[in-house]
Amino acid sequence: MKRKRQPTSLRARLVTAVLLCWIFPVLAVMALAGFLLGSSYERAARQELETRMQNAMEQLEMRMDAVFEASKTVSYDGVVRNAYRLYQREGDSAALYGAVTEYLNQNFTRDERIDAVFLTFWEEIGVHPYAADRGDFGFDAQRRYRENMEADILEKMSGIDTGILLLEYDGELYVARNLLDSRFNAYATVVLLCDRESLFQSLEQLSQFEEANLVIDDQLLVDQEKALRSITDTEKAGNNRRYELTGDVSGHRFELSASLVPFNVWREVPPIRMAVLFVVLLVLPMLLAVIFLFRRYVTRPVDILVDADNRLENGQRGYHIDARANSREFARLYAHFNAMSTELKNQFERSYLEQQALQQAQIKALQSQINPHFLNNTLEVINWEARMAGCEDVSAMIEALSTMMDGALGRDGRSQVPLREELGYADAYLYIIRQRLGERLEIEKEIDESLLEILVPRLILQPLAENAVEHDLTPRRGGNLCIRAYRENERMVLEVEHDGTMSEEDRETVGRLLAADTDNTDISGKVGLRNVSQRLRLLYKDEGEISLRQLEGERILTRVSFPV
């Protein structure tokens, strides 16, 4: 018989593939050379960038300072203030407009850094002086200023004393300053529309660098195209190295930043590009062979194992890998996985059947213990009603008793029933008790009707109601009892609240009774509570909860909750 050939070792195949890839050291040397060339270029470019940024910042600070000084001149030389005082005495608004307009034309129309200047009096006097270096442009700029910016600028300047604000509207930069009278009260605001090309022409020195930006007071930004936009819209420079320079002009912070253009050694040094191309053409067939081998002997077997694991995780216990392995290692892994899957399936089925049988046995045993003495009490009440009253009451009590017996015996084998049916058991019990206590027993129900078809443990409400009646309401000869059912965070909540008080001894007994890790079979009384607690743990594990506590006003609340 011919001996079956064993698959080749995976390690041997991988070592063979690595030995074939001898070209990697050559590529590493080329990469190192490119890195050294790039570092040398970056050092030189960084020095040039720092020098140009310093020069651009100095020129920018000088030009911005000149604009700020021009705004101060309007406030300090007194021409506008004197014209306004004359208007206040004589009321001649035309004279005020002429004087101020002439003054603005003389001082600003020849300044290349300023396109237009507007002056707005805080008092509504019907005149709005302005000046511009071009007639058509000035008229259009005045219209835009009046319609879109004047009200907003005055609102922002209302809290400013002698300070200067830099404002941006529709891509234009404005400088605003309040004019103060002798009492230091603002009576007007002067607004300068800056000429961006003149003001920021020093940034042209940075045009060869990427992401050359200017931020003013953390609000405005001028990029290398001189476009003004919000700083929050600034795009980062990717992996480029970014350099920043800060300055201060009249209390305004300037931040100038730029990024170096990355040095691409392959583009800048053609011989290296040709050498790499030659090596790639030489090693390409080898590389394709390595990829094919790796895919066949590593990737595909691993994918088969991952797929099998996912199937097992999704519930396909006992799933077997039928694919043939191409190596000794994966053949052993496949065999071990199949054996593990089979054993897991067997253990799961065995554990599930054992647990199911145990739960059913425990539930049936607990259901059979539910207050057998209650049937005796009920028969005594029925006997008394038969002697003292008519047949209708007797019939009703017999029906209630029948309902109770059906629920207690559970002949259909169901451990859970709809809430509607469970409420019927509780109603039957309370009807019988009502016959004993009469009108002295007040019963209320607060039931969310949308939950009536939700499954709940059989006979979970009646034992709670019986505990309340036997231990609190009967000794009192009556009282109030309220049953509630509602949904809370995807959980069913059942409550029985009634008149009564709990002593310290009662609290200790209930605490021991409801403890999950306590053997409470030796605790006498309160069989219903113990029964409910044990069945909740059997059905819902740690997700079933039961509590009994004292409320204000001599009220006791029993609360049961479990997942819907």
Tens digits of residue pLDDT in 212-258: 777 777 765 555 443 333 333 333 334 456 677 787 777 778 787 77
| pLDDT at residue 208, as a whole number | 62
Other C-beta atoms closer than 10 Å to the C-beta of 341 total 20
User: What average pLDDT does range 102-125 have in this prediction?
Assistant: 87
Distance CA 327, CA 6 (A): 8
| pLDDT at residue 395, as a whole number | 61
Taking a C-beta distance cutoff of 8 angstroms, is the pair 173, 199 a contact? yes
| pLDDT at residue 446, as a whole number | 93
Within the chain, all domains assigned CATH 3.30.450 are found at: 44-259
Distance CA 272, CA 27 (A): 11
Indicate if the pLDDT at residue 266 is higher than 80: no
Beta carbons within 8 Å of 125's beta carbon, 6+ residues apart: 87, 93, 96
The SS3 assignment for 488 reads coil
Pick the CATH number of 368-563 from 3.40.50.300, 3.10.450.50, 3.30.565.10, 3.30.70.141: 3.30.565.10
Neighbour-count burial for 142-179, b at 16+ CB within 10 Å, e otherwise:
beebeeebbeebbeebeeeeeebbbbbeeebbbbbbbb
CATH for 44-259 is 3.30.450
**Residue whose structure tokens are 């790796």:** 294
Indicate if the pLDDT at residue 468 is higher than 80: yes
User: What average pLDDT does range 315-321 have in this prediction?
Assistant: 80
**Residue 156: how many CA atoms within 13 Å on its side-chain side?**
17
Indicate if the pLDDT at residue 207 is higher than 70: no
Provide φ and ψ at 317, rounded to 5°.
Answer: -65, 140
Indicate if the pLDDT at residue 559 is higher than 90: yes
| pLDDT at residue 47, as a whole number | 80
Residue 218: left if φ>0, alpha if ψ -120 to 50, beta else—which one? Answer: left
**Residue whose structure tokens are 């009384």:** 525
Tens digits of residue pLDDT in 40-74: 766 776 787 778 878 888 888 888 888 888 888 88
Distance CA 212, CA 195 (A): 19
Distance CA 89, CA 317 (A): 100
Distance CA 444, CA 496 (A): 10
pTM of the predicted protein model = 0.41
Lowest mean pLDDT, pick from 179-183, 362-366, 372-376, 449-453: 372-376
- Which residues share a beta bridge with 229? 221
Within the chain, all domains assigned CATH 3.30.565.10 are found at: 368-563
Q: 256, 240, 163, 165: which is closest to 206 by C-alpha?
A: 256
**Residue 52: how many CA atoms within 13 Å on its side-chain side?**
21
Other C-beta atoms closer than 10 Å to the C-beta of 539 total 18
